[in-house]
Structure 1
């Protein structure tokens, strides 16, 4: 017996020795690098990709099965473009668990991982063939795939005869073997993510990640950090965080518990000090669950149109469920809070959804409500709520959606001169002076709401509302605007429609509008019909500008010199911003029975409106105003420095009332035609005036030029000459009580760089004939006039004027200065020769015709006349 035991022990020892010797020989002689070519060929045949292994493959057997790879890269299918690469990879697998069909990976370590993940416009990923999906379209259109390639592209096993890789990866068992990873380390990773279907592009760099033990359907800890950069959307932020993840691709089921992620940097238009996400998220076959979810943002929003600073915002959802497959949604105690500073003052936002449940069987929920407050010089307080939620997910109904808004802002008086009384027989009223104060606007809107979430449609079928305006500057101190209407939205068709019917100052206000392409570039079509519209009541005028300085030497001697800062502030206040036009597309018609805008009064106003790519065009403009007719067109291009052009014809216009209402002064009266063809551009009112160019024509009859009485000026000249006095430097301020009547006035002006030059000027009356001299210009940019008018007495002036002696004489009158401070003077030197000759002729005749007086006295009178002319 003992002999047999000794033999068995000896046999076992020999067997162990042989096994150990065989293993030693295998370890010493086995070269895994010999399989490089075969592995590369297999990848090429199976996936039509190129596998490159630049470094050596190192392998260990005991105590774990280890594999080390260096310089590994994989190309896109059918192309040399790089898909992924790894500088260094280490994998170690426990041997003994393999005997029980359990794959235990002790550790995975990757360094220098780079990958480019792309989804094309058809929704195909560039790694789909690696996980059993269809291969991406290769960039070899001339190649004819063989049978094995076609089979591989369809996700079949191809030549290897193996199960589809995607099926194995989607199960916690691989070939009947359960996977267990003790931990994963990822260092210096870089990912490029490109989604052509959604238009997204993102680059992840400096990726570092560490995990605990990874098992299917069991939470494992993950810590990561990375830098995110992108152009669509714009991103430049650092990401850090940790969570417990659960994975089961077979479900697919994914979950993140104890999540705490933080982003800091630029996120689109926001500059985030921190964006933190906490809570639990779960994804199970398309169903999203969240518990204790909280998003917290701190930072600034740099939207050019609505910048916000020092923003603190929080979204909290203790319970949230969304299942699109079953059309179910549940929200409990959702709250949104935000505060910060807007350009006009601090703001606060609050939104509460205590409970909401939507299912195919029914819908229910508590009252949803919110509030937005904006404080500052202008204040806004908006409250809104939804109550009476019913129906089901396919036909959701809300008994009432209600919104209330209170807006308060300061109203400044319009810039204008004192009211000017209309001339006798004119029906145009004087322009009233504006009253400064505070305007309060209260808006109330209410309507039932219907929603069809499946068809993605909704409607407010019966909107009832009212707009109450309280303002001391209004005629009655208040205005009420009741309105009704309806709104419908079809997101599937990207279409919205609305009708608004209101009572505005006793007249009708009807608007019909539709908006197409809601998801991309909204395109608005509308038709507006209004009985009467007074924009001066509805829209406050701008703050008054400081008065223009008088001529040099006319101000107070001790007045201090003003710094340039107020001028800069005034320029900023005059800035024009049409940037809102750049993102809109609209076309429609406008019809207004009576219109008041910036003092202008017009009847039967109509026109066509077209807006696209920042260019606004008003065509077919027509209106009846001040006894005449307006016709023409206007265009504005917000993307080309506010480039404007206008071609307007005004026929039969009563100029006096028109100027009194629009400019606040009646510098010219008469009836006739005005033709304008003007262009300009600029970022503010000053620039628009300085860059004005084009032409203007004026043809008037039976009117007057106010501020100067040329007949009186000539009589003054005659008196000075006869008296022997000479006041060469005499300058007279224009006086609104004086005027020069005319029977006909025509003028042609050419504008360039804000300066209008008279190419032709002619004023005709029974007494006078006036033409332009030199200079003859109007500086629109500086609001000044510099005009020499050549005045001649008519050949047969009325005897009552007493100007026969000056008949045919040219009298230069120089009018100059700012619009509201004009002055004029007579150019004696230019007319001295004519005056001397006429005085000498008249004096000699008198000297020889007089029958009384001594000759030396008559010669002395003649000398006084000549002295008055020559000053000697």
Structure 2
């Protein structure tokens, strides 16, 4: 490793330099003259100012040594400080010098402060101090018994980026240093950084064993501890331990029994991480290792997660890595919801993308929530995943079963930043109602459902397109088949078009548009040749209408709550049915009862809708204009062989109420519903008002209008009789006169 090699050379050179200085001073020692000479040489050769403020002491027993007081070195051609040492002492064994060997007993440096700056042009502020004629083929031989650095600091500043980093309170102790040596080391310091934001203290201890000529380096019993803050992590604590970390000749890397543990808090959440690597080897570009285990934990008031990742059969190179087995165990909670997962797959990882592939993903997912009717949903998983970060692409395929539903999902990413998705969903059958929350218990107090918020803001960041197919679908009670829809989402808008399905002996087609800008919703829907009775019964649980025909809806709305959406509803709707019935009332029967009451001065009476009564019709049509949640109709028309019905009224959608007045006139036929009994009532028009909340509709015969109509009819009938009698009398008189004129 070149860095360690250069460091060793530097330490050897430093030791040789200090030893040479000791010899020189021992022979010709003149402190004042030495200070001046060193200052002159540094100024002339390096254009820097060297200032030795303290004393220079020479010692000869027990070893030859030199001690320097406070010394500073300036920046290049500047008075600003580059480096400073409060005191330094070096001692050299005398006897080895006589045989030409350099043995330094100890180097002690206190209060060393160094500022490293990377200039905007990429050069460093110490570049001028480096020699270009170093000969790596002839390494310096050195032998230092120990090195101690105390109360020191190292600062780094990057003028191009503005980033700054600092190591303060440095305490470093090293054992024997030589071309090949073994010893123990201890390092502690405080690390502060502006980008990324870091303020932490750390300690490092290890036993080292290295051989520079053989290019062998090893650390045993490694222990690293970190305590402080980093990024947005508070109370950060990190420990790293390893029995052995070594780099052997040829660059072979060995790691044995490495364990990393970390804990921190983030915005009140407790975080934990543990990594266990029993053995890893990287030799000649080939990677191998035993099972690698990573565990991550999150613990908070409203959420928690426990994730364990295991990698086994690890092999590969610096360019590509494979694992025979990758397993994931997940146990997560969010409020009352929980998710458990157990997944396994092989792994293929390439560094040139980088790219990752999980070719055979298998396992199980389990989701739980109190609002789910079955409380817990279990999903078997079978699929694959490919992702290439360089190409910003990903593809995910999943086959699973949800109860009796077979689901096939294809999900892809065509861009990661910002994320753009494509998808294809194919489901053979799905009862969505089985997994939707149940209605609130009527015995328990509940909030107004109209106050439920509706927020489409999540659509603003969505970029997706795809299709969904469902063979058989039940949603909100409505049963459909051959469901197909296309979805496009971009720019805060979602368009579901076209949409088609077969339902209730007919078909449906239409489009749905959602817009996050203003929380706007628009729907166009056409139901063709449907059987409306089972549709209304399944959707609303009401027995209101029978018949086959068409229904068209074109509406739009906007608002932040369900109630606001209802109140802002605008658009139109139309209905045209055949061969059906209006359920809940027998109009012929009601008309007959109304006629009986005419003679007795009957008053209007309320009649509840009855599940056993109905009024048949051969055709019915109506159109609605919808404004601010109120649907108004004035062209209701229905007919059958025995009656004609016309009406007008309104539907208050926000209040879920109806107010309708229908006028029923019996046709001049005795065939049809109620037969001969109805024939006695032909020509009579009866007003019937339908009103009340959707949940409890009432019918009422408007006898006041009925009596007025009946009286008006009697007057018209008497007037017609008088007119007929007068006409007959005039005709008779004219005839008599003519007879007299003719003499007959």
Q: TM-score of the superposition, structure 1-length normalised? A: 0.55
Q: Partners in 1 of 2:468 and 2:238 — Cα distance? A: 46
Give the paired residue count.
561
Of the three residues 203, 207, 225, the one matched with 1:292 is 225
User: How far off its partner does 1:338 sit?
Assistant: 5.9
Q: Partners in 2 of 1:464 and 1:130 — Cα distance? A: 51
Structure whose CA Rg is larger: 2
Contact 2:345 2:359 in 1 (8 A): yes
Secondary structure, aligned partner of 2:695: helix
Residue 31 (structure 1) aligns with: none
Q: Deviations over 1:309-348 (max 9, x none)?
A: xx9774625369999xx99998943334467899xxxx76
Residue 190 (structure 2) aligns with: 259
Residue 692 (structure 1) aligns with: 569
Q: Deviations over 1:219-242 (max 9, x none)?
A: 744899xxxxxxxxxxxxxx9998
Q: Partners in 1 of 2:460 and 2:235 — Cα distance? A: 29
Residue 445 (structure 1) aligns with: 343
Secondary structure, aligned partner of 1:761: strand
Q: Deviations over 1:419-449 (max 9, x none)?
A: xxxxxxxxxxxxxxxxxxx998754321111
Residue 321 (structure 2) aligns with: 396
Structure 1 pair 167/675, CA: closer, same or farther in 2 (3 Å)?
Answer: closer
Contact 2:371 2:438 in 1 (8 A): no
Contact 1:298 1:313 in 2 (8 A): no
Matched, 1:544 2:440: yes
Residue 509 (structure 2) aligns with: 631
Residue 295 (structure 2) aligns with: 370
User: How far off its partner does 1:530 sit?
Assistant: 1.9
Residue 34 (structure 2) aligns with: none
Q: Partners in 2 of 1:708 and 1:376 — Cα distance? A: 57
User: How far off its partner does 1:650 sit?
Assistant: 1.2
Matched, 1:456 2:354: yes
Q: How does 1:571-720 map to 2 (within 5 A)?
A: 571-572=450-451, 574-637=452-515, 639-720=516-597
Structure 1 pair 223/133, CA: closer, same or farther in 2 (3 Å)?
Answer: closer
Q: Partners in 1 of 2:645 and 2:651 — Cα distance? A: 17
Residue 316 (structure 1) aligns with: 238
Contact 1:505 1:532 in 2 (8 A): no
Of the three residues 401, 416, 426, the one matched with 1:529 is 426
Q: Partners in 2 of 1:103 and 1:348 — Cα distance? A: 47
Of the three residues 633, 646, 649, the one matched with 1:771 is 646
Quick check: 471-480 or 828-837, which moved more?
471-480
Secondary structure, aligned partner of 1:532: strand
Q: Deviations over 1:822-861 (max 9, x none)?
A: 123222333332222446799999xxxxxxxxxxxxxxxx
User: How far off its partner does 1:634 sit?
Assistant: 1.4
Quick check: 357-366 or 686-695, which moved more?
357-366
Q: Partners in 2 of 1:534 and 1:808 — Cα distance? A: 51
Q: Deviations over 1:533-577 (max 9, x none)?
A: 22223x3325428699xxxxxxxxxxxxx9xxx646x455x3233
Q: Deviations over 1:372-427 (max 9, x none)?
A: 577989987655433443333322223322234467899xxxxxxxxxxxxxxxxx
Q: Partners in 1 of 2:314 and 2:291 — Cα distance? A: 8
Q: Partners in 2 of 1:543 and 1:296 — Cα distance? A: 48
Of the three residues 252, 257, 260, the one matched with 1:334 is 260
Q: Deviations over 1:87-118 (max 9, x none)?
A: xxxx9995999xx9984589969xxxxxxxxx
Matched, 1:279 2:202: yes
Q: Partners in 2 of 1:257 and 1:316 — Cα distance? A: 14
Contact 2:433 2:475 in 1 (8 A): yes
Structure 1 pair 739/399, CA: closer, same or farther in 2 (3 Å)?
Answer: same
Structure 1 pair 534/290, CA: closer, same or farther in 2 (3 Å)?
Answer: farther
User: RMSD of the alignment, in Å?
Assistant: 5.1
Secondary structure, aligned partner of 2:559: coil
Structure 1 pair 752/844, CA: closer, same or farther in 2 (3 Å)?
Answer: closer
Secondary structure, aligned partner of 1:736: coil
Residue 603 (structure 2) aligns with: 727
Runs of 5+ consecutive residues of structure 1 not aligned to the other structure: 1-63, 65-90, 110-128, 135-165, 176-216, 225-238, 247-255, 269-273, 282-288, 300-310, 411-437, 549-561, 846-872
Matched, 1:351 2:273: yes
Residue 662 (structure 2) aligns with: 789
User: How far off its partner does 1:460 sit?
Assistant: 0.7
Runs of 5+ consecutive residues of structure 2 not aligned to the other structure: 1-38, 40-47, 55-67, 82-116, 133-148, 157-163, 172-186, 205-221, 721-744
Matched, 1:742 2:617: yes
Structure 1 pair 647/338, CA: closer, same or farther in 2 (3 Å)?
Answer: farther
Structure 1 pair 593/454, CA: closer, same or farther in 2 (3 Å)?
Answer: same
Structure 1 pair 621/834, CA: closer, same or farther in 2 (3 Å)?
Answer: same
Q: Partners in 1 of 2:592 and 2:477 — Cα distance? A: 39
Structure 1 pair 509/809, CA: closer, same or farther in 2 (3 Å)?
Answer: same
Matched, 1:482 2:380: yes
Q: TM-score of the superposition, structure 2-length normalised? A: 0.63
Quick check: 389-398 or 689-698, which moved more?
389-398
Structure 1 pair 770/375, CA: closer, same or farther in 2 (3 Å)?
Answer: farther
User: How far off its partner does 1:751 sit?
Assistant: 1.2
User: How far off its partner does 1:493 sit?
Assistant: 0.9
User: How far off its partner does 1:471 sit?
Assistant: 10
User: How far off its partner does 1:130 sit?
Assistant: 11
Of the three residues 804, 807, 821, the one matched with 2:696 is 821
